[in-house]
């Protein structure tokens, strides 16, 4: 009889991991998370937006088989969908998964497609929050492209966090600024999202994304003329958008 017990992954200590990751580069954080801490239990959620190519490039160089989840809300720019296809081919990403809203929920809650005009929070919940929750359910950790400079609520976020559902969120670019992002793209000669040159600095769904006027805040083109700056897929233990 085999008396060897099945080994289960050891629960990481959040404070220890944050202390470790604060000393690492983004690439080192990713390599540790993918190859040591969350082996075969980690994914990345990517918008294929203005700076998504940076993390996708890093991951492709470490492990191109890491699942890449894209929330295809049904309201994305056509340029974003074509950019996704281009990056998948260019970087050699082997497991890109497009996740859509439940058609039954769409028929019940947004049959005419205009929910975003009446209630942006409800629209984001229907088209982003719930589909992502279903998609990441099999994973223990997910990688995000959030940075501390993007919004006031993100300024204090840690490099690795534990969400209310018990899942870990890893933010390898938390300490990066715009100059570092641009420098990485230029250094590696990576293709930019085609809308960047037209003044779109943060790119989400088409109805809720505007150009940023010169000198404007980085994310001022998202949900313009409202105080909303998060779609709801990133929540901390207090329920606040981060």
Strands 141-143 vs 160-162: parallel, antiparallel or unpaired: unpaired
Using an 8 Å Cβ cutoff, are 228 and 234 in contact? no
Q: How far apart are CA 84 and CA 118, in angstroms?
A: 29
Those residues whose C-beta lies under 8 Å from the C-beta of residue 89, and which sit 6 or more positions away, are: none
Specify the DSSP element, H or E, that contains 161: strand 160-162
Cα of first residue to Cα of last residue in the chain, in angstroms, is 50
Q: How far apart are CA 137 and CA 141, in angstroms?
A: 10
Whether 231 is a known active-site residue: answer: yes
List the structure tokens of 201: 């600095």
Instruction: With CA atoms as reference, report the closest residue to 83 among 215, 209, 192.
Output: 192
Q: How far apart are CA 51 and CA 242, in angstroms?
A: 18
Using an 8 Å Cβ cutoff, are 162 and 168 in contact? yes
Phi/psi for 48 (5° steps) reads 50, 45
The active-site residue out of 123, 124, 208, 231 is 231
Name the residues annotated as catalytic.
Answer: 231
């Amino acid at each position: 009889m085999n008396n060897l017990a099945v080994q289960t992954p050891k629960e990481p200590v959040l404070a220890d991991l944050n202390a470790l990751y604060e000393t690492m580069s983004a690439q080192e954080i990713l390599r540790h998370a993918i190859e040591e801490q969350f082996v075969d239990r980690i994914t990345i959620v990517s918008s294929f937006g203005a700076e998504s190519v940076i993390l996708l490039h890093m991951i492709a160089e470490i492990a191109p088989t890491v699942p890449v989840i894209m929330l295809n809300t049904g309201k994305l720019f056509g340029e974003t969908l074509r950019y996704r296809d281009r990056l998948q081919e260019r970087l050699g990403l082997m497991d890109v998964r497009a996740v859509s809203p439940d058609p039954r929920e769409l028929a019940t809650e947004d049959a005419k497609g205009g929910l975003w005009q009446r209630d942006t929070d409800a629209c984001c919940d229907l088209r982003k929050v719930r589909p992502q929750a279903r998609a990441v359910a099999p994973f223990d950790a997910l990688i995000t492209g959030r940075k501390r400079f993007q919004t006031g609520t993100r300024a204090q976020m840690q490099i690795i966090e534990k969400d209310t559902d018990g899942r870990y969120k890893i933010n390898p670019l938390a300490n990066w600024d715009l100059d570092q992002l641009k420098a990485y793209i230029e250094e590696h000669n990576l293709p930019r999202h085609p809308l960047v040159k037209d003044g779109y600095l943060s790119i989400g769904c088409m109805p809720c994304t505007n150009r940023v006027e010169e000198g404007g805040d980085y994310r001022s083109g998202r949900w313009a003329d409202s105080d909303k700056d998060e779609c709801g897929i990133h929540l901390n233990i207090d329920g606040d958008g981060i």
